[in-house]
Structures are given as C-alpha cells and as structure tokens.
Amino acid sequence: MTDFSLLGEAAYVVFYILYFSLIFSIALVIILDNRNPVKTMAWILVLFFLPVVGLVFYFFFGRSTRKERLISRKGYSRLRKRPMAEFQAQLSLPVSKDQHILMGFFRRTCNALTFEGNALAIHTDGASMLLDLIREVSKARHHIHLEFYIFENDATGRLLRDILIDKAREGVKIRVLYDDVGCWKVDRAFYEQMLFEGIDAQSFLKVRFPQFTSKVNYRNHRKIVVIDGKVGFIGGMNIADRYIKGTSWGPWRDTHVKLSGKAVYGLQTAFLTDWYVVDRTLLTGEVYYPKMREKGTVVAQIVTSDPVGEWREMMQGIMMAISSARKYFYVQTPYLLPTEQILTALQTAALAGIDVRIMIPKKADTWLTHKGSFSYLDMLMKAGVRIYLYRKGFLHSKLMVSDDRWSTVGSTNMDFRSFEHNFEANAFFYDKETALALKNIFLEDQKKCMFLVPKMWAARSWSNRFTESVVRLLAPLL
C-alpha cells in the first residue's frame, strides 16, 4: 500500500514539474515574441493565475502568425498593376499637407492608392443599404464579388442568396467569401446551395483540427462588395436579419457607403487578394479593373490591415489622424478597448483643447467587451474627452471624422481585436463635403444619446467598478 502511495506521489510530482515547465516555456515564448508589453503581461497573468484555462486559450487564440506570407510580392504587384497605372496618371490631389502625410503613410505601409473623382452614397440603416445593394447586384453583367464576416441563413441572407442565384443563371460570375468563425452557426447547406447553382462560395481561413489553433484568432472582419469593377460597398454591416430588424432593445444603427469611381479599384484589390488566399487563383484581368471616368468629387483611399504584416497600419494611421486634429475629432464605435497608443493620443488631443467626442452604445450585444469599454471612460473624461452613450437601440457604426476635412467608414472597431487580430478594411475620405455629411450624422445621433457627466459616472456602484477593472485586464485578449 505504501509503495502505491509513493508511486502516486511521484507521478503527481512528475506531472506538476512537466505542467509548470510547459507554462514557463510558453511564457518565455510570449516574452521573446516581443509583442505589445500590455498584451504580453495579460497572457502571462492568465497563464499563471488560470493555468488550465490559460493554456487552452493560448493555443486557440494566442499564437502569433505575423511572419506568415499570405500572398507573394510578385502576385500582389500583378494585382496592383492596373490600379497603379491609373493612380500615376492622376494630377496632384487637391488635399492639405497633413492629408498627404496620412495618405503617404497608408500607401507605404499597405499599398493603399488614393483616387479622386468618386461618388458616394451613405447608408445609416440596414434596410436602405440592402435595397441599394440589391439594386446594384441586379445591374451586374460580368461579375459580383461579396466578402462579409457574417452571411446568415435567415430571411435577409436567403433573399440575397436567391437574387445571386438568379444572376448566376444569367451567366454572371459570382464569388462569395465569408468568415469561417463568423459563420460557425450557419448550416453548410446554405452555402452548398450557392455552389450547386454555380456561385463560388468559400470560407476564409477554415478552422479545422489540427490547424484549428493557428487560425481561430485571425478573422476576416471586412465587409466588401464589388460589382463589375465599377461600383462597390464598404462599411460595418453584414448580411443578417438583425442589421435590418434591430435588436430586442431597439433599432440597429450602422454606417455603410456605396462608392462609384476609381476608388473601387482598392475594394477590388482587397477582395482579389483575400480570394487568392483561399482559392490560390490570381485574378488580374482588365475586366476586373475597367476604365472609368470621374463620377463625383470625393477623394477616397481604401485602406486594409491584417495581423500578418510588419506594421499595425490601421492603428498607426488613426494615431496620426488624432495627432493631426486641430479643431475636433469625433468617433463612433460599438467596442471601445483602445490600445495604449490610441488611448494616449485621444487623451493628448483632448488635453490640448481639441474637441474629442466618443460615442458608444449604452447597451451592447456583448457583455464582456462592453464592461471592458466602460473601464476606459474615467481616464478619458478626466482628460476632457466627451462621452456619449447611444440609447436608441444598438450603435454598431464605425465612423470617424475630423476638422471638416478627413473622415473614415469601415469595419474597424476601436479595440485590440481590430488593431491586432482581424483583417479589416476602411474607406478614408479627404474632402470637406464627405466630412460634413458624416459629421452631421454624428451630431444627429448625438441627440439620441445620454451625455456622460463625470460626477454621475463616478457615482456608479463599487461592484460595477470592480467588474470593469477585472475585464479590463483581459482587454488585450478580447
């Protein structure tokens, strides 16, 4: 009996030595990866205080893939050949020096080209966006490219799917790209029906064992549509009923834009790059980049960011934009979990006397991230940032505008996940007319908000403060 007890104790000792050696080794790998120090500390804390949960979460969500190459330089150069020729044929763009610096940053870090002469239509509700999308899809003659984080099997999803099937039967080539994690709950038969009808529907970075742990954390959050290479859509809306009907506590407020003009080349390049990642087919023909005349007066640049590049393009660009603000900087975001750099930039701008306003939903669709968002409000308000809580439903809009001369709409949230882990896409606009239009949308939404008074916020319960602070420790991992 004693021998068995000693054997059991020895087994326990060996197990714990191996177990904690594994944790220590992973912690060492995280440290040597030279990540954001805040993120590094968050992972180490999770590993040591919740070792079993920490190990599982690290293998699923923690490993970095920044050094991977999804597409070769040669292949990407072929994709950009025609847009680059059109870009170089332009005369000097009518923008300020500060705008040129931001444009140049995006061009150097993510090869984003800027085009003038675009037309823009702004949608602030799902119904109008869907109707406009259906209208443009019905006009397609050669190809339709759709890329969404969520393409749901519900009334809205089936409506669009059936319209796409009709176009496929007319001979229009249709490619659909959806995120594998974003559409986990969607029955595969929904997409198989598209495939059966000749629509090429594929998921982005399929999450399957044994590759599961290397892909689940890097998701394609982009919302892009390109029709015949001439018209495109980009913004925050996916294809699902809730974007039309809203939530149980009110309407769904979002922002999406339709673009006509050469800026669509940027949307096309983003889509075809992602398509190459999943299909390994490089589509570079002239039919995907047709010749276009000027459609309007909007100066636009399509900016993409991803977790596998050398730079954090979107985060760094937004930092530059905040720092260059001279009068005001307005932000709408459903999730406010800013990196230390963005947080400091917002505080610095407010302390310098810039009118910085941030609008987030009063009630959100995700309890954990919403609690984390609330933990940042104290220090923002102390610096002079004005906080507005949107009360009429759920605010899912990702909108920024500054100084009546710069604005952006897209898929990027003001959080770690968008800046560090997701494949994102935003349209940046460098003209007064668009900036004023988006500013007015922000100010109209402000009427439906509760202005957060610092004294009132400071009076919230101790339990709320504690919960928010605990969740904030996990902010870099959410």
What tens digit of pLDDT does each residue of 255-268 get? 999 999 999 999 99
Amino acid at 108: R
Q: Which residues of 436-472 are buried (b: 16+ CB within 10 A; e: fewer)?
A: ebbbebbeebbebbeebeeeeeeeeeeeeeebbeebb
CA distance 175 to 216: 23
228 catalytic residue (yes or no): yes
Catalytic residue among 143, 215, 230, 398: 398
8 A C-beta contact, residue 402 and residue 317: no
**Mean pLDDT over residues 168-186, rounded?**
94
- pLDDT band for 74, please (50, 70, 90 cuts): confident
User: Looking at 223, 258, 295, 370, which residue is catalytic?
Assistant: 223
Token pair recorded at residue 84: 């680059």
Helix (H) or strand (E) holding 50: none
Q: In this predicted structure, what is the pLDDT of residue 39?
A: 59
- Across the chain, mean pLDDT equals 86
pLDDT of the residue at 69? 56
| pLDDT above 50 (res 211) | no
Is 398 a known active-site residue? Answer: yes
Answer for the pair 430, 299: CB distance below 8 angstroms, yes or no: yes
pTM of the model: 0.85
Q: What is the full DSSP assignment across 102-120? A: HHHHHHHHH---EEEEEEE
User: pLDDT value at position 20?
Assistant: 62
Cis before residue 334, ω within 30 degrees of 0? no
Active site residue 241: no
Q: Using DSSP, state whether 429 is helix, strand or coil.
A: strand
pLDDT at 163: 98
Q: How confident is the model at residue 461 (pLDDT cuts 50, 70, 90)?
A: confident
Bridge pairing between strands 200-204 and 252-253:
unpaired
| CB-CB contact of 113 with 266 (8 Å) | yes
Which among 228, 274, 306, 431 is annotated as catalytic? 228
pLDDT at position 367 is: 77
Q: Quote the CA–CA distance of 106 and 93 in Å, as a whole number.
A: 15
- In this predicted model, which residue has the larger pLDDT, 5 or 457? 457
**Active-site annotation holder among 123, 143, 230, 396:** 396
Model pLDDT, residue 213: 42
Catalytic residue among 39, 167, 221, 295: 221
- Choose among 468, 465, 307: nearest CA to 372: 468
Mean predicted confidence (pLDDT) in 91-97:
78
Calpha distance 185→179 (Å, rounded):
11
List, for residues 283-322, the tens digit of each pLDDT value. Answer: 988 999 999 989 999 999 999 998 877 788 999 999 999 9
Contacts of 227 (CB under 8 A, 6+ apart): 136, 137, 139, 140, 143, 144, 145
* Percent of residues, the chain, with pLDDT higher than 70: 81
Q: 256 catalytic, yes or no? A: no
* Residue-wise DSSP of 207-236: --TTTHHHHTT--B---EEEETTTEEEEES
Contact 176, 146 (CB under 8 A): yes
Quick check: is 421 catalytic?
no
378 is catalytic: no
Find the catalytic residue in 98, 179, 274, 403.
403
For residue 212, pLDDT over 50 is answered with no
Q: What CA–CA distance (Å, rounded) separates 155 from 401?
A: 34
pLDDT for residue 46:
60
- pLDDT value at 52 more than 80: no
Residue 35 confidence (pLDDT) above 60: no
What's the mean pLDDT in 367-391?
A: 91
pLDDT tens, position by position, 404-457: 999 999 999 999 889 988 999 999 999 999 999 999 999 999 999 999 998 888
